Structure 1
Amino acid sequence: MDLDLGQVRAFVTTAEELHFGRAATRLAISQQGLSKRIARLEAALGLRLLERDARGVALTAAGTRFLGPARRVLTQGDLAVAAAQETGRPLRIDVWGHLYAPMRTLAQAVDAAPGLEVEPVPGRDLPSVAAALLRGEADAGFGRVHALPDGADAGLTHRLVRLEPVDALLSADHPLADRDTLSPAELRSSVLRYPAAVDRLDFLTRFAARFDVTARVGSTNLGLEHFLDQVAADPGCFSLVPADGPLPDRPGVRTVPLADPTPLYAWSLLWRTDRAPESDGQLDRLLRAFTAEAARSRWLEYDPSRDWLPDADEAALRP
């Protein structure tokens, strides 16, 4: 059978919203028009995709199976239209991990690829960026990637593009603040302060588990300046920041390099598995730019006798 992309888009949008009113608003059509498109799709398939009752909208088993491939059909349709029209729209990139300043690394790669047009979109965190990619609202994502619960990252792939050393961020009044370097083990008696909720920063959690840091406290993410104020006011805490990251000239805090081993923060480019770089010129150019910049700036150097990576990040380095 021939699928009608308008009908498929109506189903996918409703499946994401689980509400006919919100789905119709997103598509700028009436609820009646939306219902007709879905009904025609179900009739053509000979299957019920959505259950509708007084409690709301839910996917049937067939609808659940159809949703993932349907999203991929829409992505390929959009790519086909863009290729035929030669629209050359910018590559939409969701970034996350804002306190670690992802834009500086992304900008360095983009600057190395003249003519590459990107449109950065600020993503709140990895789960929200993964959802936006799967919905086709972004073309790629940039930040640290880790496995998401309940398979929320199924249909996505990534490539590690930079390993960045991290420093300890300390109050100037911390007992170790005057050191030239520190080993992670020396921080185990301090409190690890997260710049957001404790369950939101996988890298810090893995660092704490590896180096036996048992005391941890979360924060409300109100930006870098607010977080630096919190660290400055607490001489018993520490956090981690990328070594190359720009920090404001803030009295009361200092950064100390970590060694023996040096923890590395893994930056990755993330995209959908059905969006093959070899058939997507913009994505392919960005990956090539990252590869060239990594070779030039030695972004992917890793020595397990000297450095530390979480297991999943280390595995991403293997061929």
Structure 2
Amino acid sequence: MDLDMAQVRAFVHAAQEMHFGRAAGDLGVTQQALSKRIGRLESLLGTKLFERLGHGVGLTEEGRRFLESARRALAASDDAVATIAGKDRPLRVDVWGHLYAPTRTLLQVAGRADELRLELGHGRDLPGAMTALLRGDIDVALGRIHPPLSPGLAHRLVRLEPVDAVLSTDHPLASEPTLRPEQLRDSVLWAPGALERLDFLRRFADRFGVRERSGSVNLGLAHFLTEVAVDPRRFSLVPADMPLPDIPGLRSVPLVDPTPLYAWSLLWRTGSTHPGLSTLAAACAGEAGRSRWLEYDPTRDWLPDLPTDRAEAHSG
């Protein structure tokens, strides 16, 4: 049985969107053309892959079983084409967690690898980056990973970055040279969005007993930090070495005993053959060694969860 990859692609996109119209738009075909492709695939396989619902579609049991294999087959097909047609194209990189400016890390690495050509994009969050990787829309992503990760993806820890507390100069703790995380338990953690979507901040609040939590719409770093500065009870967390905008009434204070670490990882689709991926991974490893990015001491530092590749981090 020979699969038609156009039909497989139609199935995978429809399964992702759970809507034939949106999937057709993604692929640049009419909904009728997409329906025909899926119908032919169902005929070839001898089973229904979708059930029609009121405002979309749902996968049948057979469709759910077929989905991961279809994704792998599609990825292998795309990689095979890329080895010829796309061998010279830039490595497409997506980043998320942009309030913490992951592009600082990426640009520091890329600046040392002259042969590395990058095409930079921005993901809304980790699920969005995973979807883009599985679709083949991007080659690699950079951000903080946390379970669950989709099957077919691999990752590597590249940086453990200390974070500071930022708070108003009118905050009762603003004059302290350093702060222990537990000292912030009676303050209000201010988040750039819904806390259930911000895993690191949520885990910090849970671990150190910060009961009051609130947030706003993420309109960029300057707007967010201005909101922190105007309220003497608020605080948030930012990377220790990230340049902050010049905002009156804002202070950054190092956190110690323990120091929270934000873990940056590369994430990619298993089986990817783009040569830029290995170049980027090697450049990250080299920069980590020079800049001591992977130092971790459990008696001094706090990580909400260690990535499974923690062996790449060493005690310092």
Bin of the TM-score, shorter chain as denominator length = over 0.9
Give the 3 Å change call, closer, same or farther, for CA 252–59 of structure 1 in structure 2. same
Alignment of 1:286-301 (within 5 A): 286-301=280-295
Displacement, 1:43?
Answer: 1.9
**Structure 2 residue 187 is the aligned partner of structure 1 residue 190:** yes
Rounded to whole Å, the distance in 2 between the matches of 1:228 and 1:301 is 28
Give the 3 Å change call, closer, same or farther, for CA 54–145 of structure 1 in structure 2. closer
Rounded to whole Å, the distance in 1 between the matches of 2:78 and 2:10 is 15
2:101 counterpart letter in structure 1: A
Alignment identity in percent? Answer: 61
The residue aligned with 1:317 is 310
**Structure 2 residue 212 is the aligned partner of structure 1 residue 218:** no
The residue aligned with 2:19 is 19
Rounded to whole Å, the distance in 1 between the matches of 2:22 and 2:227 is 40
2:264 maps to which of 263, 267, 273: 267
Q: Which runs of 5+ in 1 are unaligned?
A: none
1:291 counterpart letter in structure 2: A
1:285 counterpart letter in structure 2: T
Greater Cα shift, 233-242 or 57-66: 57-66
The residue aligned with 2:121 is 121
Rounded to whole Å, the distance in 1 between the matches of 2:168 and 2:63 is 54
Q: Which runs of 5+ in 2 are unaligned?
A: none
The residue aligned with 1:172 is 169
Any conservation in 1 of the 2:87–2:274 contact (CA below 8 Å)?
A: no
Displacement, 1:167?
Answer: 0.5
Give the 3 Å change call, closer, same or farther, for CA 171–56 of structure 1 in structure 2. closer
The residue aligned with 1:256 is 253
Displacement, 1:84?
Answer: 2.1
Displacement, 1:54?
Answer: 5.9
Displacement, 1:263?
Answer: 1.0
Aligned partner of residue 256 in structure 1, secondary structure? strand
Q: Indicate the RMSD between aligned Cα atoms, in angstroms.
A: 1.8
Give the 3 Å change call, closer, same or farther, for CA 108–20 of structure 1 in structure 2. same
Aligned length: 312
Give the 3 Å change call, closer, same or farther, for CA 263–54 of structure 1 in structure 2. closer
Displacement, 1:232?
Answer: 0.8
Aligned partner of residue 84 in structure 1, secondary structure? coil
1:218 counterpart letter in structure 2: G
Aligned partner of residue 116 in structure 1, secondary structure? coil
What TM-score do the two structures reach when normalised by structure 2? 0.93
Give the 3 Å change call, closer, same or farther, for CA 55–290 of structure 1 in structure 2. closer
Write out per-residue CA displacement over residues 276-305 of structure 1, whole angstroms, 9 at most, x where no aligned residue.
Answer: xxx431111111110000001000001111
